Chain A
């Protein structure tokens, strides 16, 4: 079994699902999103990054399942009182050694810690089937409905993402649909109307829609990794976000701006 690398363990994580959470960020992603704010999450192997004190620091560490359970457990009291839990994020956790991820989720569930998975959906269907019994829901990052556009901005087609979304919904898994919004690229009403129709046509049940405006806080991480950041995106206007929120609410969804 290949033990996955984890590049960050974030306690008091309050924007990756409900309540106070601990987020495990798994290293490695099938996509290369142009707006990615965690570029250190893309490669599956450890790599060096310049730390605060100017020294090179190896990013990516392996943990035994026991260690991760213990780390999660240390904050269980906060999860219990806030309706929180653990979030597996990435990178793309669903493309990691799935027996490891499955076992981790299983053990957390056993001790009463709720698990959410943050995913882009580009991962084998069988992996989702394995995780479904142990997780309380998915933070599902749908990048684009249009496969060509999806490919252009992330480097991969989106059929798998749509199929897995359908699978989760049909299996009764809770879905927090997360839509990253980029100014003049996907923040328009027609694009959102398309998403709504697709969800309705396919009877996808959504617990909440999170509208995530683009931010560029990750830019200097590229430099620290010795890469060049080519991002040239802007966040949508506030009014625009409000309009989209109203549109979604009109269609019967519970909407939140920000995670």
Chain B
């Protein structure tokens, strides 16, 4: 499988080649340097929102603007494609971190000697003690650090800021010039007599005004640069195109777009602005792009301004721009929980319209075609399927998906809307803005801050129960000692102990979340994101301080199948059938089942397991899910968020497995946990329909999303019948309120070959967990995990 030249025109093929082959992931120091200049100048003299606004404006006034020959859509996060800026105000990298990024085999970022010199002489001296992560680490309690080091949970907001930001339609209605007017009106109407927070609001709104000015300057500078290049350009075609580029930048982002191309460029400028302002976890996403672009597309086609092919080329260029932006460098545990370049931009295609009707249009089909042609990791693409979705659109999406690289993933529109309603959102907002972003997370585009706060290792909580709170990975007492499990006389006692330990770990995690959230509220406003998120301008409150219309705080639970199956082993074999003594089972786990073949046989083959549509095991999974809800859901946070349970892993299921002993259900020590709500590997033996039935017993509507991954061999999904069967699986799962379903359709043999000869399989893309990645980019443990996932080869 040689890397194909993808792209529907020569222009796109060339840009693609630059993005894929001629660019090397590297660190871009420019942002950090400009940020430091601004902070040095203003810190201590102005309020936090003004400081952030001034710094952003300074960056936009001075950063290098990159224009690649032939580009229709412009804008990079760094000084060139694949150059990733750093965010020292969050995480100030040491020189060792830089060496590590440069030298590591996977997800590397090249660092030059010059970069290191700047880091050492300019960045580190200023930021070492100021970086939020440094300050957090000093404040967070010992109990938190112990559980964190032991891998009971991770923390999203140490190296990255609160994200999960998806655009709604407002940037296509108003440019930043118009938005400044709204902000000025809000400042004008502040009432210093009756509104006791009026000054805070003014500072915030002034910060918002500064970032809008920064965005306008960004566009104006691009227009000027394109004209200057045109002056000296000798190639007449490119000279003409440069002038056209300049004309686009004369309009956006200062004004609302008037054409399809301007609309795409408007989104992209905003994307770059938001992701330069802050290292948002999950970058920024266009949301319902087909619906946002549809009026521009229809008008341009009608007035003969563009053809369908022109629109396609513009979209393909947008895809390349996404591909050019790796997620900013991560280190340590953050890298382990998310070991990928992917920045989790996610496009929702075919979703419902604000009036609740089906939103599939020609632009939706166009996006499917672009997805298929470009076959790029970024942006992550999904389709929303509702009962109103025409069968033809579903089948076309399946045709792309079954090619084996996991895109598009399938989301259930009705489930998303019900999840949002359950969390108190209005039906109008749920319909207009109901999206799934990042991996599978539900949210309200342009109206909500829904922040991922970290993964929770559910089966390890149970491991702590079995080890009386002692963690064998860090060799430290990290949890509660709830007595010797050999003394438990009923299954109820076992379960109660699990719940107590769960409560303890969640309490520590949530206390940490509250500390961290408060630090972001006070020190790290994001005025640009606030400008484009309802109702921050109206309330004068920052996105990071609770200014959004809705605020949600997710805790992502990992390994629910492992804990359910482990509890089933104990309930059935220890307490009901008496086949095993607790003592034997604990000894077998400690020994990683070596020398305990009989016990392994019992736990592996003679115990009901989740994923087989068996109410015994599925019932235990349900009770664990209920316990998670009661321990986690509905807690209030400093900015007024509600905490919500979610089931997604990114790559964290691998890391969480690495820090664990063998589990009572026969999962070997150090091996990955199952992803999302997928069954334990080898546990599901009755095919995909049984997995779907089991998964649907979990009440997914009360979560912020649950990920289900199914792997098929190509033969199963071949032909028209194969499409019919996949469509029926999707429709059935969604009728049962399933949230998300994705398919991997690649032969096991192909993956094994790719592992042996990575060079020959350069462009092999696989679905990991809520996102896709190049197989070669994954580390060995994750590759093995994907190979070992149950392959559904039935019939």
Contact = CB atoms under 8 A, between A and B. Distances in A.
Interface of A: 10-16, 19-20, 53, 55, 74-75, 77-78, 80-84
Contact of B689 (A20, A80, A83): A20
B693 A82 contact: no
A171 to B, nearest CB: 28
A83 B721 CA distance: 11
Contact of A12 (B687, B721, B722, B727): B687
A16 B795 contact: yes
Q: Which 5 A-B pairs have the closest CB atoms?
A: A82-B728, A12-B687, A81-B728, A14-B795, A11-B687
Interface stretch (B3-11, B729-737, B759-767): B729-737
Contacts of A20: 689, 725, 728-729
Contacts of A83: 724
A224 B7 CA distance: 52
A55 B601 contact: yes
Contacts of B721: 14
Contacts of B725: 12, 14, 19-20, 82
Given A77-B732, A77-B736, A78-B728, A11 B690 contact: yes
Interface residues of B, number: 25
Nearest to B729: A78
Contacts of B293: none
B6 to A, nearest CB: 30
B441 interface: no
A82 B398 CA distance: 15
Contacts of B722: 14
B307 interface: no
B19 interface: no
B792 interface: yes
Contacts of A81: 727-728, 731-732, 735
A78 B736 CA distance: 11
15 contacts: A10-B795, A11-B690, A12-B687, A12-B725, A12-B794, A12-B795, A13-B794, A14-B722, A16-B795, A19-B724, A55-B601, A74-B613, A74-B690, A78-B729, A82-B724
Interface in B669-704: 686-690, 692-693
Choose among B601, B721, B731 the residue with the greatest number of A CB atoms under 10 Å from its CB: B721
A19 B686 CA distance: 17
Interface of B: 601, 605, 613, 686-690, 692-693, 716, 721-722, 724-725, 727-729, 731-732, 735-736, 792, 794-795
B689 A75 contact: yes
Nearest to A79: B728
Choose among B613, B687, B716, B736 the residue with the greatest number of A CB atoms under 10 Å from its CB: B687
A15 B732 CA distance: 19
Nearest to A257: B719
Nearest to A57: B605
Contacts of B736: 77
Nearest to A74: B613
Contacts of A12: 687-690, 725, 792, 794-795
Nearest to A11: B687
B709 to A, nearest CB: 16
Contact of A14 (B686, B716, B727): B716
A80 B727 CA distance: 12
Nearest to B604: A53
Given A12-B688, A12-B689, A14-B795, A19 B605 contact: no
B693 A75 contact: yes
A77 B613 CA distance: 13
Contacts of A19: 724-725, 728
Contacts of A75: 689-690, 693
A55 B600 CA distance: 13
A69 to B, nearest CB: 15
Given A11-B686, A14-B794, A74-B613, 11 more contacts: A10-B687, A12-B687, A12-B689, A12-B792, A13-B794, A20-B728, A53-B605, A81-B732, A82-B725, A83-B724, A84-B728
A190 B527 CA distance: 80
A13 B725 CA distance: 10
Contacts of B689: 11-12, 20, 75, 78
A214 to B, nearest CB: 17
B724 A77 contact: no
B795 A13 contact: yes
B440 to A, nearest CB: 22
Contacts of B613: 74
Contacts of B731: 81
B755 to A, nearest CB: 24
A80 B692 CA distance: 15
Contacts of B692: 78
B390 to A, nearest CB: 15
Contacts of B716: 14
Contacts of A14: 716, 721-722, 725, 794-795
Contacts of B601: 53, 55
Choose among A12, A15, A82, A84 the residue with the greatest number of B CB atoms under 10 Å from its CB: A12
Choose among A15, A19, A74, A77 the residue with the greatest number of B CB atoms under 10 Å from its CB: A77
A20 B795 CA distance: 10
Contact of A11 (B727, B728, B735, B794): B794
B732 A74 contact: no
B688 A77 contact: no
A82 B736 CA distance: 15
B795 A78 contact: no
Contacts of B729: 20, 78
A75 B686 CA distance: 11
Nearest to A76: B732
Contacts of B687: 10-12
A84 B613 CA distance: 19
A74 B794 CA distance: 17
Contacts of A53: 601, 605
Contacts of B686: 11
A53 B727 CA distance: 35
A53 B666 CA distance: 14
Nearest to A71: B613
B693 A74 contact: yes
Contacts of A80: 732
A16 B686 CA distance: 16
Nearest to B688: A12
A78 B725 CA distance: 9
A74 B693 CA distance: 8
A74 to B, nearest CB: 5
Contacts of A11: 686-687, 689-690, 794
A15 B728 contact: no
